[in-house]
Amino acid sequence: MTQTMRWFGPNDPVPLQGIRQAGATEVVTALHEVANGAIWQRDAIAARKAVVQDSGLDWTVVESLPVSEGVKIRSNDWDQLIDHYRQSLTNLAACGIDVVTYNFMPLLDWTRTDLAWTLPDGARALRFEAVAVAAYDIFILRRPDAAASYDDATCAAAEARFAAMDDAARATLERTIIAGLPGSEEGFTSAAFLRAIETYADVDAAQLRENHVAFLEAVCPLADTLGIRLVVHPDDPPFPIFGLPRVVSTEADIAALFARVPNPSNGLCLCTGSLGVRADNDLPGMVDRLGSRIGFLHLRSVQREPDGAFHEAAHLDGDAGMAAVVAAVHRLSVREARSIPMRPDHGHQMLDDLNRTTNPGYSLLGRMRGLAELRGLERGIAHAAEGSA
């Protein structure tokens, strides 16, 4: 695997030198300063790549080139947005970028309810709690008919949770869910979020799937000729929230997408954390069955908890079964004679980083620990495979 780390650009509190010292050879990054739907200009891409290369690293994977909400709902400016996306792809290819990550989640990117949940060892992790989401949805956002999205027990627990929170706790929960996490495409106030939800009134899961297919049919032929692999990031979490559909949550979802749009450029960013939230997703099996479509790997693990909650576990712990996943990736790499870019995702905030300003999930030391563990795991698997050959 090609070892990378995510870098959020010049304002990232983690410097490129730190990423290089952690053992990565590349960064994955984006022009986060460019508005969604605008064209990524070739000069800006080249300038950012020069900064990365001057540090001794490389940049060949974009994460992410956002798909505008207008594309997801097929708004009146769909044609213009598609043209802009195509031009951005052309400019990226001209600068040597050959993997472009995107997602098709309505409005919110990855969602958590606690950005600093304390673990038994004193480190901090990201956590998602379904009851907290329900408390926000029903009693803070006040989405019409929100209670119908939850069972009676969850509604009762959400009411108790809301009642127990003071104004500061309620504001923190609101900010955590909708204000925008690192790499997310949008940030909202509750009033703006409620208005945005209304734009999806006529977009159910079936329609969102059709809109996704239409997007790919419009951009994949160009991506094929450019030699770019478009890799979709799975839904995080992999189920509907706030009444909004999510359609890249299971192996069946992904396989159906590939069947509808068989272009070589239509690929997958296999995120073991996002997909691993669901116990019915067989992660090593997905590597084996979808392998030729996998263009990028997010390797992290979550620990599932009761009642739909989960938190970010250490990279080799939790429910992902990381040893089996990396063994499957090694088989794929050998079979197809390619090194797949990967990054350790969502590290714990730990050690000296507990006293530093960091992007939630993207402090250096937790990701460095994860990268070291994953590197050692891969080398051990490769060595064992060579010994048995």
d(CA 287, CA 294): 8
- Residue 118 corresponds to which amino acid? T
Q: Which of 164, 194, 224 is the last residue of a domain?
A: 194
Indicate the pTM of the whole model: 0.96
Please tell me the predicted confidence (pLDDT) of residue 179. Answer: 76
- Out of 85, 346, 348, 353, the active site residue is 346
Assess whether 362 carries a catalytic annotation.
yes
- Which residues does residue 61 pair with via DSSP β-bridges, in sequence order? 28, 99
d(CA 136, CA 47): 42
Assess whether 271 carries a catalytic annotation.
yes
Provide the residue range defining the domain that includes 173: 114-194
Please tell me the predicted confidence (pLDDT) of residue 133. Answer: 97
Sheet containing 114-118: order of strands: 114-118, 124-128, 310-313, 301-304
First to last CA, the chain: 20
Residues 150 and 220 both lie in one domain = no
Please tell me the predicted confidence (pLDDT) of residue 266. Answer: 98
List Cα–Cα distances, 95 to 34, 50, 88, in angstroms.
Answer: 17, 10, 11
Q: What is the dihedral of CA 304, 309, 315, 317, to 10 degrees?
A: -30
Residues 224 and 130 both lie in one domain = no
Assess whether 200 carries a catalytic annotation.
no
- Regions in the chain scoring below 50 on pLDDT: none
The DSSP code sequence of 157-170 is HHHHHHHH--HHHH
Report the chain's mean pLDDT, rounded to a whole number: 96
Q: What is the dihedral of CA 41, 44, 47, 51, to 10 degrees?
A: -130
Q: What is the dihedral of CA 90, 230, 54, 36, to 10 degrees?
A: 70
Please tell me the predicted confidence (pLDDT) of residue 48. Answer: 98
- Out of 85, 150, 200, 362, the active site residue is 362
Please tell me the predicted confidence (pLDDT) of residue 386. Answer: 86
Could you tell me if 4 and 342 are in contact, meaning their C-beta atoms sit under 8 angstroms apart? yes
- Out of 84, 233, 315, 330, the active site residue is 233
Please tell me the predicted confidence (pLDDT) of residue 368. Answer: 98
- Out of 84, 212, 298, 330, the active site residue is 298
- Out of 271, 311, 315, 319, the active site residue is 271
Residues 157 and 205 both lie in one domain = no
Please tell me the predicted confidence (pLDDT) of residue 387. Answer: 81
Residues 145 and 294 both lie in one domain = no
Angle, in degrees to the nearest 10, between helices 78-94 and 42-54: 40
The DSSP code sequence of 184-244 is -S----HHHHHHHHHTTTT--HHHHHHHHHHHHHHHHHHHHHHTPEEEEPPPSSSS-BTTB
Residues 91 and 120 both lie in one domain = no
- Residue 249 corresponds to which amino acid? S
Could you tell me if 280 and 338 are in contact, meaning their C-beta atoms sit under 8 angstroms apart? no
Q: Which of 161, 194, 227 is the last residue of a domain?
A: 194
Of 254, 274, 255, 253, nearest to 318 by C-alpha is 274
Residues 81 and 181 both lie in one domain = no
Q: Which of 130, 159, 194 is the last residue of a domain?
A: 194
154-212: pLDDT as tens digits: 999 999 999 999 999 999 999 999 876 666 666 789 999 999 999 999 999 999 999 99
Assess whether 298 carries a catalytic annotation.
yes
Residue position matching structure tokens 């090194």:
339
**What CATH number does the domain containing 229 carry?**
3.20.20.150
Domain count, the chain: 2
Give yes or no for a cis peptide into 64 (omega within 30° of 0): yes
d(CA 92, CA 74): 24
